[in-house]
Amino acid sequence: MTARAEYIAAYTRHVGLPVGTVLDAGCGLGLLRDPLMRALPRASYVGLEFSEYLCRRYGWTQGSLTDFRARPFDLVICYDVLQYLDDRSASAALANLAKLCRGVLYFSALTLRDWAENADRRRTDRNVWMRSATWYRRRLARHFRQVGGGFWIRRDAPLLPWELETAE
């Protein structure tokens, strides 16, 4: 998680995003929180989690990404969460990400191809909704520009990656 946090922080610095607020959507145990706060020491962190137990235990904000409302965050992280939602809920969550993010989104989800070619099936949860990467990309592209490496920039954000640094 330290490497992932440093990667995320480095990318936000690279595109010139001053990160004051971070939403970790579906934060689970919050393993990303401490290394991310070390990498982004001026940022405030909100961990959003559906599990009431985890919220009580770790102090996260309890809610669902499908309908969570808050002021937009500079950086939103949604890592390996949406494969646990059915198509309708996942679509609603992706639309809500656009409302919650005003800068950079770091997004990842297990895809059909990942399951077939990349996942360690002994350690990867198979009780999920398998979708193609295209399914996610189409919905994210309505509000974000894909820049590669799991990063998406909000279309109306004043962040300008160079053309060859994008995936479009």
Residue 22: which CATH number? 3.40.50.150
| 8-state DSSP, 131 | B
Give the number of domains in the chain. Answer: 1
Are the beta carbons of 77 and 25 closer than 8 angstroms? yes
The pair of structure tokens assigned to 90 is: 């996942």
Q: Which residues pair with 9 in a beta bridge?
A: none
Name the residue range of residue 37's domain: 2-165
Residue 168 reports pLDDT greater than 70? no
The pair of structure tokens assigned to 51 is: 């599990």
The pLDDT, as a whole number, for residue 125 is: 77
List pLDDT tens digits, range 65-107: 999 999 999 999 999 999 999 999 999 999 999 999 999 999 9
List pLDDT tens digits, range 18-67: 999 999 999 999 999 999 999 999 999 999 999 999 999 999 999 999 99
Residue 5 reports pLDDT greater than 70? yes
The pLDDT, as a whole number, for residue 119 is: 76
Q: Determine the Cα–Cα distance for residues 155 and 141; give it in Å rounded to an integer.
A: 9
The pLDDT, as a whole number, for residue 69 is: 97
Q: Determine the Cα–Cα distance for residues 155 and 168; give it in Å rounded to an integer.
A: 13
Residue 162 reports pLDDT greater than 90? no
Q: What is the pTM of this model?
A: 0.94
Q: Determine the Cα–Cα distance for residues 71 and 87; give it in Å rounded to an integer.
A: 25
